[in-house]
Structure 1
C-alpha cells in the first residue's frame, strides 16, 4: 500500500466539541447578523438551531465549517481555533450538490478518493453506506435518475462515509415533500446513532427540531433548551413547542 494512502478506522471517531465566545458574525464590511454569541456544542449531540430568516443560522454553520471567519470573538473545535475547512467537518446543504457525471456510488466515494483511500476500501465503504440509507440497488445510477429524497440520502451517505467528527446541516430536508421529509428525519436519527458525530442541524421547522435535536438553540433569543427523551413523535412536547413558537 502506498505510504500516502489512507485507511478508514473501523471504530467511530469521537464527536467534536465546539465553543463560541463573544462571537460577532457577518461578512467583512457589512453589518453583523449575530453579535456577542456564546454557545457550547457538546461532543456527540444533535444541536438543532432555529430562528427567523436572517438571524444568522446559516452564517453560524459556515463559521463552524471554517468557511467564514468571525468578525470578533473566538470559535474553537476541541479547544483549537477554527481557521479553515477540515475533513473532520462535513457540510450538508438543502441543495444536494451531487456531481451529475458521477454515479451514486461514485459520489459517495468522492471524499474517500480525495483522501486517497484505496479503491477497494472506498468501494466497500460506499456500498455499506448506500445499504444503510436504502439505496444499494441504485449505486450504478446517475443523480438525475433518482428522486430528490434519494439524492438527499446519497448526500447523507457521502458526508458520513468519510467518518467526520461533526456534520453541519443547513435545512437539508427543506425542499422535500412532507412524507419524504418525515422519512429522512427518521433515517437521519437512525444512522447517526452509530456514528458518534456531533451534529448541528439548522431548520425553520420547530417540529423537526423537536424530533431530531437533543437540544435546541434559539439564536434570536440567545437561549438553548433541552429536548426531553424519548425521541418519539408521539411524545407530548406541546409546552416546549409553544415556548419556542412564542419566542419566534
Structure 2
C-alpha cells in the first residue's frame, strides 16, 4: 500500500513531512531487449538533493520514470521507505523540461489540479494554490492562461503545481534546460528557496555540470552500467571553491 499522504491545508505546514528514502537494488532499466542500465544500485537519502548527470542515452530520464512508478524495472527492486514502488503515487511528483501545463486552465487552476485530484475542498485548494503562487512570485498572474506567460514563468507555475500537494519526493527531468542562462540561474535560486522547509527529497536530472554542483548535495554520475556518487562541498554557493572546481573536472573528464 502507498504511504499515507500528509494532510493538506491552505498554507505551508509548520512541520514538513519527511522526505522519501529511495533505494534501487540490482536494477535493470529500459525496454525488453534494450536495457540502458543493468545492475544499478543507488540510494537517495531522505531530504537530500541528488543531481544526476551523464551522457545522452545513459538512462537518466528512464531512472526518473522508474522512481516515479511509471516504468517498471526489468530486474531488481525499487523501493520507497522499504516498500516496493509498483505504480505512481501522490508522494512522488514529476517535473519536466516541457512545462506540461493545461492550456485551457488558468495559472491558479493548473496549480490547484493535484489538490483537486486528491479531493481537497475548493476553498482550501484555492488558498493552497495562491500561497504557492506567491512563493514563486506569480501571485498577480493567477488568472492568466499559460500562453500569456514567459517560459520561465511557466516553469515557476509547474514548480508550484508540483509542490502544492506536498510530495515527499520531487523528480525533475532537466526542468530548466530550455531557459536562457539568466532565467536558468534565477530558477535555480528559486528552487533552492522554495524547497527550504519542505523536507522533500529531490532527484534532479541535468546535462549542466555547474547546475548539478550548485543544486546537488551529491552528484550521481551515470555511465555504462555503473554509477558513481560524489559528495558536493557545502554550503551551497556559486563562489569559486577549490574542491568544487576539482569535482567539476572529475565529472567533465568522465563525460
Match of 1:3 in 2: none
Alignment map for 1:1-248 (pairs within 5 Å): 8=8, 10=13, 11-28=15-32, 30-220=33-223, 221-236=226-241, 237-248=244-255
Return the alpha-carbon distance in structure 2 between the equivalents of residues 234 and 60 of structure 1.
31
Return the alpha-carbon distance in structure 1 between the equivalents of residues 121 and 179 of structure 2.
35
Return the alpha-carbon distance in structure 2 between the equivalents of residues 158 and 222 of structure 1.
31
CA contact (8 A) 1:7 1:121 kept: no
Q: Deviations over 1:51-84 (max 9, x none)?
A: 0000000000000000000000111000001000
- Counterpart of 2:193 in 1: which secondary structure? helix
Relative to the length of structure 1, the TM-score reads 0.96
CA root-mean-square deviation:
1.1
TM-aligned CA deviation for residue 7 of structure 1? 5.1
Q: Deviations over 1:5-50 (max 9, x none)?
A: x95153321100011111100112x311001100010000000000
TM-aligned CA deviation for residue 235 of structure 1? 3.6
TM-aligned CA deviation for residue 243 of structure 1? 0.6
- Equivalenced residue count is 242
CA contact (8 A) 1:50 1:219 kept: yes
Return the alpha-carbon distance in structure 2 between the equivalents of residues 235 and 224 of structure 1.
22
Return the alpha-carbon distance in structure 2 between the equivalents of residues 207 and 225 of structure 1.
14
Return the alpha-carbon distance in structure 1 between the equivalents of residues 100 and 87 of structure 2.
21
- Counterpart of 2:172 in 1: which secondary structure? strand
Return the alpha-carbon distance in structure 1 between the equivalents of residues 251 and 72 of structure 2.
29
Return the alpha-carbon distance in structure 1 between the equivalents of residues 41 and 79 of structure 2.
12
Q: Deviations over 1:76-129 (max 9, x none)?
A: 000001000000000000000000000000000000011110111101110000
In structure 1, the gaps of 5 or more residues are 1-5
Return the alpha-carbon distance in structure 2 between the equivalents of residues 213 and 7 of structure 1.
28
